[in-house]
């Protein structure tokens, strides 16, 4: 069985950026349950239709349906050497189910203090015209309210990028997902990476962890 990598961390930890680097280094395709659900819904597969019933009712898609989607995804040719699981598993129950269909070689957690996460997420905004991303502290526009890329003054902030919502998401993460650190640690698979540093430094730490395998 090909070996795969799990990447997780709190919202705003920079998983998306680092996932791209892992894919480029290892050649393992990045897969997320959200992407698989959308693809299955579009294709109208049996599992996609099963998931749709729960989604239409406003309920969470059960783990057995998610695991079924992953099992199907792992049969595709590009997954022959394993995959990068981005944001899955989210719970110990999902990790246990995943262990029955995939061999995980390493689990990398990008760890960032809550206060830094709140600062990162609540300060970000985008240009409504070209999509360029800015931040109040880390990447402000040269001229207040004007996009450096296209000159538009149409700036937007996501409605859920507020402190109350972010802290609620962090609480859910600490309750449901953070326990995976101990679960995978007991199996000798867990590596923690300090995400409260520059993007390149985080990437270097992840590559060092991969090189040590």
Annotation says 28 is catalytic: no
> 21, 52, 116, 169: which one is catalytic?
169
Q: Is 156 a catalytic residue?
A: no
Burial class (CB in 10 A: 0-12, 13-18, 19+), 171: exposed
* 3 DSSP 8-state letter: E
Catalytic residue among 15, 28, 73, 120: 15
- Residue ranges with strand state E in the chain: 3-8, 30-31, 84-86, 103-111, 124-127, 133-135, 155-156, 190-194
Confirm whether 90 is a catalytic residue. Answer: yes
d(CA 153, CA 145): 6
Per-residue burial over 119-139, b = 16 or more CB atoms within 10 Å of its CB, e = otherwise: bbbbbbbbbeeeebebeeeee
Of the chain, the end-to-end C-alpha distance in Å amounts to 17
Catalytic, 15? Answer yes
Of 28, 73, 120, 124, catalytic: 124
Q: Which of 156, 158, 167, 187 is catalytic?
A: 158
124 is catalytic: yes
Active site amino acids: 15, 90, 124, 158, 169
């Amino acid at each position: 069985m090909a070996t795969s990598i799990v990447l997780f961390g709190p919202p705003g930890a920079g998983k998306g950026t680092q996932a791209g680097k892992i894919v480029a280094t290892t050649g393992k395709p990045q897969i997320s349950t959200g992407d698989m659900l959308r693809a299955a819904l579009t294709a109208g597969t049996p599992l996609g239709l099963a998931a749709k019933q729960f989604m239409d009712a406003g309920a969470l898609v059960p783990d057995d349906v998610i695991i079924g989607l992953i099992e199907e995804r792992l049969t595709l040719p590009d997954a022959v050497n394993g995959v990068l699981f981005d944001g899955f598993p989210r719970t110990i129950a999902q990790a246990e189910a995943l262990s029955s269909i995939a061999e995980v070689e390493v689990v990398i957690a990008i760890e960032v203090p809550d206060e830094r996460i709140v600062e990162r997420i609540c300060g970000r905004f985008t240009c409504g015209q070209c999509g360029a991303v800015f931040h109040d502290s880390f990447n402000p526009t040269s001229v207040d309210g004007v996009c450096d890329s296209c000159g538009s003054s149409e700036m937007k902030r996501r409605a859920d990028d507020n402190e109350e919502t972010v802290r609620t998401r962090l609480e859910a993460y600490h309750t449901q997902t953070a326990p995976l650190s101990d679960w995978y640690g007991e199996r000798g698979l867990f590596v923690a990476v300090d995400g409260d540093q520059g993007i390149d430094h985080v990437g270097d730490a992840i590559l060092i962890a991969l090189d040590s395998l």
